[in-house]
Structure 1
Amino acid sequence: MFRMDYEPSSMQLDDEVSRSPMPSPRAQKRPRPLKVLPSGGDEECSSQSLSQSRSAGEPSTCSKALSGRPPIPKLREIQPPMPRNPYLVRADDDSHVFQASQSCLNRGNYSRFLWDYHQEVELGHGNFSKVYRAVHRLTGVPFAIKTNRSPITTLQARNMWLNEMQALAAVQHHPHIVGLYDAWFEPDVRGDAEQAYLKLELCGDSLGGVFKRRVQLKEQEVLDMLRQIASALKRIHDLGMVHLDIKPDNIYIALESSQANNNSCAAACSSSGISTGNVYKLGDFGLAIVQGGQRAGTSEGDSKYLAPEALKSRDFLNSGLADRLDIFALGASAYELLRGSELPKNGQVYHDIRAGKIFLPGSNQRLVGLLKKMMAPDPAQRPTAEQLLRSPLLTPAGSTGGQLQPQQSPLPLSQ
């Protein structure tokens, strides 16, 4: 008698093996190397040959096929979605429905600026930078985005942009300084370089733009500008910083929404004496520096508004009176706006202005005297920003007390 013990589950039949979910190693297909075709006139042949070879499992039959190099994908530029904000822009049917947003950008080529913001129009540009009006894609809020014109390829160029980011961040939040909301670097899509981005408060036109349109500013408007920018300079100088680029192109007129916000902060803005007119904001801190510190760049600012001591010595930032450079430039900016014609960049008149020879026929002599003090050849004779704010002409009572004569006709542009 025999006894056989076995388990039926351990026995496998041939047909069970054939139904196993794991394929046999001999049944696996090994991928064939792709043969890449050159771009050019044979694109149609290459695409057709490659598609047929993939379907049939055979290599391409195109005579010009090359092997050994991976295919180069063709990138297609796709605009990211931009949902409408129903609280800012009403639809025709007045429906308050949020639009769904689905990612469609290749994250390998991710650009925060292109992904998060819709670039609308260029607002202006300089030698090294350009500014765009850009709308945030999710919220619909417009901002001013400042970036570099040429790719950043050196450490010095990167430090110049980093200096502006940090300087502007240090002086926040002041009612007469352009607001900084964010700043970042990202790889440049054009090569081995970087792009810098500053997300700034969106303002209106600059006084330089107003001047170029031949719009004559009244004396009261210039006094308002002097008072408000002097308040911004006091903030800057109290932190031990110097702006070094005060000029009409860097003084902006705030938009109406910003003016309403600033005027609502009466307690915070009382020291700056905001009037019922325009609100002015100082921007562009690319040349800012700590007094006596090391400069990130080599530019000394616009020569039209440069103080005379900067022409005599390269050590003017270590004199202890570096803040008076900004006072001179602010006075020169006001002088140009009242003069009605552009200040010279060189020549005899250029040196006469730096010698204290300022002429404004028909203007209030008290205002002319204030400008002469601000543009005195000796920096020690110029007022500080705090002393400037205490001037009777720049106090709210002095500027609205009717002591100024009516604005006279502007000087001809040829003078």
Structure 2
Amino acid sequence: MQTHRHTDPAAGATPPALVDVAVIGGGPSGAIAAEWLAQRGFCVLLVDPGDRIKPCGGAIPSRTLADFAIPPEMLVARADAARVIAPSGRTVEMRIGTAGYVGMVDRASFDPYLRGRAEQAGATAFAGKLDSIEEQPGGLLSLTVAPARSAMPGAGPVTVRARMVIGADGANSTVRRLMFPPADRPRYVFAYHEIVETPAQPEAADFRADRCDVVYDGRISPDFYGWVFPHGGQVSVGCGSGVKGHDLRRATGALRQAAGLGQARILRREGAPLPLKPMRRWDNGRNVLLTGDAAGTVAPSSGEGIYYALHCGVLAAQAVEACLTSGRPQTLKTARRRFMQAHGRVFLILGLLQAVWYRSDRMREKFVTMCADPDVQRLTWESYLEKRIVRRDPLAHLRVFLRDLGQLLTPAARQK
């Protein structure tokens, strides 16, 4: 192992020539993986351009704070209810109760905080972007990284050798493109949102600072949904769709108007692909492992990704540690296997939910009707907060199944 070097990427420092692990991408998954490995004595390079904020509603279940040692002050808001809105305008409010809450983070501050933790643990942070990877004799990887212009104006690319690479660089991962076959890429929708200022006195019927609004309407998204999420002094308003030609910016404008935020000042606009299905393979069988969005670990139907990215990052770091210490590349497969053991059932059910209920406004109307059921609400919140399918009340699951079947077999009741 190499000696730790703690550097300030903004100062334009040169990264080590040889590292144990190069983590490409400093979002939640990459940052937590870099921190985990650095804490265990590995020489880690964390590469991130630091010049972009991912479009994200920012929702995390309350257990995230305890699971990943996130301080409460990183939350910009807490929501204790969600309101789902049907194409007809019918609304159903789903209150969480005392089981927990939905925390809201702002990626503009949350991601740098996580990268800072990785640095404090001993990782070297470098502001830049991966250009190329070449495998060298002996198993080392040679990486060419272009420094970010904001950090090192006029500087040329630098070369770093690494024993292992973790690709945490998003849905359009450069690591995946360079080291995996072209067909290996997750299915995704394109997400777009606008961060706007929260009005001083919002209309309670349209927007509440302690409630997440989720809009199921084909005019907003023909295959996904729209959202209005509180962020304290700001609000995230956006939508996603995989339908080519759907005007996400116009749909988001309609959402802002409906939420009483049409005149709110827009602070920033962001868009990016959002994967909705884990890849079948995350490693190249030798020295590269994908994690987070690069591996497709975003939940279908909900688009939730932060908690899963953090957990995936820890699993990726553990798999890489096992590979480095044992010399057995097959241990890299444990990251995906353990992730799917923990979350595969939830992802399967959410995928089926999206396939059945999101395919038309008629079905979306029925879905919102179903959300009014107390059993549906309780099981939904328990599964979201506990990050697993809760089985302690089998009769409730049976009741939900029967009501779900009834909704499928009866005409939609379009209530105004």
TM-score by length of 2: 0.29
User: Highest relative contact order (Cα 8 Å, sep 6+), 1 or 2?
Assistant: 2
Give the strand-richer structure, 1 or 2: 2
TM-score by length of 1: 0.29
